[in-house]
């Protein structure tokens, strides 16, 4: 099993499972292209995340905005949310 996966968990809802780290996000960030239309990204199954994981969420939010996709994140890991708040990025991350 890959260290991080994107799985459909319902119409318009996608789950991220595994680790969002410097080691995994470079290969995973391109998975945004699999989203078709508006989406909720559920991060409840993320085991570990670092600043690279936060950067990926910001990248996905920017891509969604550019493409006119309504995107939101749910169950953002607490350590990622803390980094986002400290850096002010929580203001641009769409959360549900």
The predicted model scores a pTM of 0.93
Query: C-alpha dihedral over 53, 18, 15, 31, to 10 degrees?
Result: 60
Give the total number of structural domains in the chain. 1
Is 16 inside a domain boundary? yes
The pLDDT tens digits for 31-73 are 999 998 999 999 999 999 999 999 999 999 999 999 999 999 9
Is 50 inside a domain boundary? yes
Is 20 inside a domain boundary? yes
What does the pLDDT read at residue 96?
A: 86
The pLDDT tens digits for 25-35 are 999 999 999 99
Question: Nearest CA to 60 among 79, 40, 45?
Answer: 40
CATH of the domain at 9: 3.30.750.24
Q: Give 30's contacts (C-beta < 8 A, 6+ positions apart).
A: none
């Amino acid at each position: 099993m890959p260290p991080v996966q994107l799985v459909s968990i319902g119409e318009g809802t996608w789950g991220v499972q595994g680790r969002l780290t410097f080691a995994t996000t470079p290969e995973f960030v391109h998975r945004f292209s699999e989203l078709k239309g508006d989406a909720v990204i559920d991060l409840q199954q993320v085991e570990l995340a670092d600043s690279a994981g936060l950067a990926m969420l910001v990248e996905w939010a920017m891509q969604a905005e550019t493409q006119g996709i309504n995107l939101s994140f749910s169950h953002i890991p607490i350590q990622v949310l803390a980094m986002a708040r400290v850096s002010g990025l929580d203001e641009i991350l769409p959360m549900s």
